[in-house]
Chains A and B, each alone.
Chain A
């Protein structure tokens, strides 16, 4: 079995070192995959991605990219490791234009700017005509394209997304997911967190289900949806029904 592109091993992390939210999570993402992290509210999905992105301190465990240890790296150093991250909210520079957002994305690879811009515009043709508008004035779906486009400008190996379909209508969410398939096709590995489990698993290769800060179930995407354990994680175990 090949080396995973991203390996998270036994990570314990949280907003406060004395109060960890993640209690020893391990997961792997292999090159070329789309992996989705699911789970009920409060499971720690967002916390996991933020921990990988260096926005939270990891108190235990390790995170490696293509074998290189990136645990504890500062957030702004991740781009050099070719890991790009799209937060759930406030994921574009609202007062800057679309073109400026994309230009910032290529901060550390300016010589590739033209080529990467071409690639992003091929994936999101709408962005071309929106070029000079302030990103904050765009609709939710358009903003999401700018957010992902900005991340792709850095030519990442791994793209991490926090709830890419959040706040979007089901139709727009579908558009986002089909765009992500095309991102995978141009060779970017994707790790995402999603509430919209069904739709996300449809485009994923594998999935992990988190609950209460731990990884509970994982496996092939198709099989997860039919797995009764997943239902229990979302709606509580059927056996615990003692009502006084």
Chain B
């Protein structure tokens, strides 16, 4: 589904990502882990279209998306969530969701005067869809609540909902477990698993190892800007190089390693 070949990113002499290649198979929940400075967030951001790579290529569902920006990948069915969700705080939860799909009829100035009926129908459709997603996420009663009033965990679920509104083929999850209490974490894990059953592919960056080991297969491990290994949870945990990388094992690079 997603194929990365020789991806690289140079930040003025700092090689944050140094020739990384891997594939995310369709229908998988693939994990991307690594110590701080491994380059996983940079890789993730390039796939998500936040900034273009310095080298290499990215293919999604057969299309080359290497220099595409986020709104372009969005249209192709590749969406991302953010580690720190920033919903439109003063709008309701439902409004936040209904805003997602692109090219709504109601966005065009003259249409609001001339195509009232069509707009109303579209709004109804979007609202129904948003409510359905809220039901799935267990947030039904929060529909009319201002998004800024939600708890951290609820905002994360809303983030997931936002991604779902566009009927994506693949979702890039940016640290879904960060700052979440264990109960809510379990719920998020269940939702992701359920969505995966319904056919959505996931690539997840995560530091919470319990979550990664339970949910993800395969797991890709990066360190120092390169791919270290790829495998199942057991294989990753058993590979001594992985623990070495996390414990700050020696690499022989002389360049400054960016933090984070």
Is B212's CB under 8 angstroms from A40's CB? Answer: no
Is B248 touching A40 in the complex (CB atoms < 8 A)? no
**B147 at interface (Cβ–Cβ under 8 A)?**
no
Asked if A169 lies at the interface with its beta carbon under 8 angstroms from chain B, I say yes
B35: chain A residues within 8 A (beta carbon): 195
Smallest CB gap from B240: residue in A: A231
Give Cα A231–Cα B243 distance, bound, in whole angstroms. 7
Q: Does B258 contact A (CB under 8 A)?
A: yes
Q: What is the CA–CA distance of A244 and B189 in the complex, to the nearest angstrom?
A: 11
How many Cβ-Cβ contacts under 8 Å join chain A to chain B? 83
Stretch at the interface among B1-9, B128-136, B157-165, B230-238: B230-238
On whether the beta carbons of B254 and A236 are closer than 8 Å, the reply is no
C-alpha spacing A167/B208, complex, angstroms: 22
Contact A198 B244 (CB under 8 A): yes
Contact B193 A244, beta carbon cutoff 8 Å: yes
**B residues within 8 A CB of A40?**
207, 209, 246
Q: How far is the CB of A183 from chain B (nearest CB, A)?
A: 20
Residues of B within 8 A of A231 (CB): 237, 243
Of B193, B236, B249, B259, which one neighbours A166 at CB under 8 angstroms? B259
For A42, what are the chain B residues with a Cβ–Cβ distance below 8 Å?
178-179, 207-208
- Say if the beta carbon of B76 comes within 8 Å of chain A: no
Task: Determine the interface band of chain A, counting residues with CB < 8 A from chain B.
Answer: 20 to 34
Interface string of A132-160 (1 = CB under 8 A from B): 00000000100000000000000000000
Q: Which residues of the partner chain B approach A225 to less than 8 Å between Cβ atoms?
A: 247
Once A41-B207, A169-B256, A235-B209 are accepted as A-B contacts, the answer to whether A243 and B248 lie under 8 Å apart by CB is no
Q: Does B255 contact A (CB under 8 A)?
A: yes
Rounded to whole Å, the gap between the CB of B140 and the closest CB of chain A is 24
**Given A42-B178, A242-B214, also A236-B258 (CB < 8 A):** no
B191 on the interface (CB 8 Å rule)? no
Q: State whether the Cβ of B93 lies closer than 8 Å to any Cβ in chain A.
A: no
CA gap between A45 and B209 in the complex, in Å: 17
B214 touches A197 (CB 8 A): no
Q: Does A195 contact B207, Cβ atoms closer than 8 Å?
A: no
8 CB contacts below 8 A, A to B, read A40-B246, A42-B179, A42-B208, A169-B257, A170-B254, A197-B247, A198-B250, A199-B248
